[in-house]
Amino acid sequence: MSATATKPINAYDVALENFDLAANALGLDDNIRAMIKYPERILCVSVPVRMDTGKIVRFEGYRVQHNTMRGPAKGGIRYHPNVNMDEVKALATWMTWKCAVVNIPFGGGKGGVTCNPKEMSMGELERMTRRYATSILPLIGPEKDIPAPDVYTTPQIMAWIMDTYSMNKGYPVHGVVTGKPISLGGSLGRNEATGRGVYFTTLSSCEHLGILVKGARVVVQGFGNAGSVAAHLLDSASAIVIGASDSRIALYNRNGLDIPKLIMHKERTGSLKGFPAAEEITPEELLSLECEILIPAALENAITEENAPAVHTKIIAEAANGPVTPEADRILNQKGVFLIPDILCNAGGVTVSYFEWVQDENHLFWDEQDVNAKLEKVMTRSFADVLRIHTDKKVDMRLAANMLGVSRVAEASRVRGLYP
């Protein structure tokens, strides 16, 4: 067992390692590396909040802008007990390459507050959100940095940020955040966009590998927004979702879970727990189920060198950010598992966020079928771009995606030059 297996895996170390692998494969100039490897700005803020009891509790918040060479920073805000500076830096770094992979004119940003939103009332969440938004106000704006929802943040939270920003400006600024409610300039199709992007890249992978989607067994780890939407779309395409999990429970049914009923059960109860037509298994057993398509859609570092040998799938579709560690990558690659890397697989969310921003800035809105058709075009084209590098350069899919993203940012940096 290596030393890294016993200590927590640092997401930012993983992000830097992935960058170095891509930069080395591209033969990237040291000067360009120095310009694009590290975050441009890091803000750490204190967020005091008056709780319902009257007591004031201090939370810690972050906003990181990794790179703005190709456009404004773009990236979600997450509310989670494990949020820390290195995690936010890692997520901002991945966002830079992700935006470049799907070729949209944004750079990478990310934010978060270290808290447990499940233990907070709506009033407490609103006060914390508005205080956090005020603290990061100098950094954000439709031409500078555009936040969006992430883990445990919602369209309502985006509405509070948009309102806080607008009240400070004195006029409504719809384009400051994406993932907003439709009534405030949100885009149709945004809520399902991440899961739909996972679906499109999974279909492209099945086509590439000659796997029939109809009858393909699917396992979804993490039944939040991305996981449930991907499960629903694959289920609609006659795939069989045999396993699913959330933060509390893992379920299995060898004949396939009834996904529409499971989604309704989750909406009604807040968990998969208590769903009748399935047997309960351990989270470890879920990841080792024999299947064609495994979708890790929870948090980072779900598949490590410890459990990777037990994974039995043909395709891993990374709906979450960083769910597979570099050590696990090497094991899965040797086993012949085809990986759709996160910066490609889950880029549907940021792509439709870009569409939302474009609509807000133009004050002109599109039909949902237009949004979905444009998303499909971007995702299938981006998959083909990454696949071309994978086959031409004979590198794994993660390295291919990172090479594509890093090369586009490097080119923008080279053309723009260094000021002053």
CATH number of the domain that 294 lies in?
3.40.50.720
Whether residue 195 contacts residue 223, with contact meaning beta carbons closer than 8 Å, is answered with no
| pTM (two decimals) | 0.93
Residue 50, beta-bridge partner list: 56
Q: What's the pLDDT band for 6 if we cut at 50, 70, 90?
A: low
Q: Same domain for 211 and 310?
A: yes
Residue 33 falls inside a structural domain: no
Say which residues have a Cβ less than 8 Å from residue 232's Cβ, sequence separation at least 6. 195, 259, 260, 263
Asked whether residue 237 falls in the same domain as residue 127, the answer is no
CA 178 – CA 181 distance, rounded (Å)? 9
Q: Does 394 participate in catalysis according to the annotation? A: no
Q: Torsions phi, psi of 236, nearest 5?
A: -65, -25
Domain identity same for 43 and 117: yes
What pLDDT, on a 0 to 100 scale, did the predictor assign at position 3? 43
Choose one of 322, 345, 368: the last residue of a domain. Answer: 345
Instruction: Tell me how many domains the chain contains.
Output: 2
pLDDT-derived band at 55 (thresholds 50, 70, 90) equals very high
| Mean pLDDT (the chain, rounded) | 95
What is the domain-level CATH number for residue 72?
A: 3.40.50.10860
Residue, of 19 and 7, whose pLDDT is higher: 19
- For residue 4, the model assigns a pLDDT of 42
Integer-rounded Cα radius of gyration of the chain:
21
**Same domain assignment for residues 216 and 166:** no
Residues 206 and 85 in one domain: no
Q: Do 105 and 201 sit in the same domain of this protein?
A: no
Average the pLDDT over 52-79 and give the result: 98
Report the distance separating Cα 298 and Cα 366, nearest Å: 30
The answer to the question of residue 400 being in a domain is no
Whether 265 is covered by a domain: the verdict is yes
- Per the residue annotation, which of 89, 98, 110, 314 is the catalytic one? 110
Say if 387 falls within a structural domain: no
The reply to whether 125 and 198 lie within a common domain is: no
Region 57-79 average pLDDT: 98
> What is residue 151's predicted lDDT score, i.e. its pLDDT?
86
| Domain interval for residue 121 | 38-172
Q: What mean pLDDT comes out for the span 335-358? A: 96
Each residue of 182-220: pLDDT tens digit?
Answer: 999 999 999 999 999 999 999 999 999 999 999 999 999
Same domain? 316 vs 215:
yes
Residue 269 DSSP SS3: helix
Q: What is the pLDDT of residues 286-315, one digit of tens each?
A: 999 999 999 999 977 899 999 999 999 999
In a domain, 368, yes or no: no
Please check whether residue 380 lies inside any domain of the structure. Answer: no
Q: Are residues 102 and 215 in the same domain?
A: no
pLDDT tens digit sequence for 89-145:
999 999 999 999 999 999 999 999 999 999 999 999 999 999 999 999 999 999 999
Is the same domain home to 208 and 165? no
Judge contact between 222 and 152, C-beta under 8 A: no
Distance CA 412, CA 414 (A): 5
For residues 312-329, average pLDDT: 93
| Structure confidence at residue 11 (pLDDT) | 86
Residues 335 and 330: their CA atoms lie apart, in Å, by: 9
Quote the pLDDT of residue 326.
87
415 part of a folded domain: no
Q: Do 337 and 228 fall within a single domain?
A: yes
Phi, psi of 396 (to 5 degrees): -70, 165
Q: What is the mean pLDDT of residues 13-35?
A: 95
- pLDDT for 7 beyond 80: no
Tell whether 293 is covered by a domain: yes
Q: Are residues 300 and 158 in the same domain?
A: no
> Which tokens hold the place of 70?
């190709």
Please tell me the distance from the alpha carbon of residue 317 to that of residue 401, in angstroms, as a whole number: 13
Domain boundary among 298, 330, 345: 345
Written as one letter, the residue type at 110 is: K
Are the beta carbons of 307 and 287 closer than 8 angstroms?
A: yes
Domain C-terminal end among 345, 368, 386: 345
